[in-house]
């Protein structure tokens, strides 16, 4: 199996994949994004991951190899091939993160908001359980249905429009 990290294109022998030579690294630094989801993770040689530090994946490539170098072009081509216009091995979220320089990380990044919301919901549940005998948490499907019934969907879309647009998650017909 030919396994190569996105950034360095170094061949990884399958027997070495889970050794101390390689790290699961965050494409966009965890300190910037507070996101530990699959869409922000990839594999990197440990020594390179330490040098990459708090840079985004694309920024690390440009710093290491130079903008418009063959390695920079290879990185972009690999990311494009893996995404394959939404039909490939990586989703749009990972694709966007792999190509996002630090200067384009929007304030209040969506994943950070999701993590904060999850944390708040868990803490609220704990507090409610202390105050009431029976607490029944509901799934996102019920929350979604209530948003629809209360006509909050359009309001929420308008409130978050700028975030989604900056991330390239809005598709316009005919484009």
User: Which uninterrupted H or E stretch holds 163?
Assistant: helix 153-166
Q: Kindly report, residue by residue over 54-101, the tens digit of the pLDDT.
A: 888 899 889 888 999 998 998 899 899 888 887 888 888 889 989 999
Whole-model pTM: value is 0.57
Cα–chain center distance at 31: 13
97-151 pLDDT, tens digit each: 899 998 887 766 566 677 777 888 889 999 999 999 899 888 778 877 887 888 8
Tell me the two tokens of residue 53.
């530090």
> Positive or negative, the Cα torsion across 49, 52, 54, 58?
negative
């Amino acid at each position: 199996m030919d396994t190569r990290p996105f950034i360095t294109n170094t061949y990884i022998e399958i027997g070495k994949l889970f050794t101390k030579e390689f790290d699961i690294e965050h494409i966009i630094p965890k300190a910037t994004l507070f996101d530990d989801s699959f869409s922000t993770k990839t594999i990197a040689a440990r020594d390179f991951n330490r040098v990459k530090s708090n840079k985004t994946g694309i920024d690390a490539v440009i710093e290491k190899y130079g903008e418009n170098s063959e390695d920079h072009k290879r990185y972009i081509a690999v990311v494009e091939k893996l995404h394959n216009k939404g039909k490939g091995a990586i989703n749009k979220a990972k694709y966007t993160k792999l190509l996002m320089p630090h200067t384009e990380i929007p304030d209040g990044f969506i994943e950070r908001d999701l993590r904060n919301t999850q944390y708040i919901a868990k803490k609220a549940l704990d507090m409610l359980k202390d105050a009431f005998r029976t607490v029944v948490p509901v799934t996102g499907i019920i929350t979604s249905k209530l948003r629809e019934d209360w006509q909050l969907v359009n309001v929420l879309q308008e409130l978050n429009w700028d975030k989604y647009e900056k991330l390239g998650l809005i598709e316009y017909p005919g484009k």
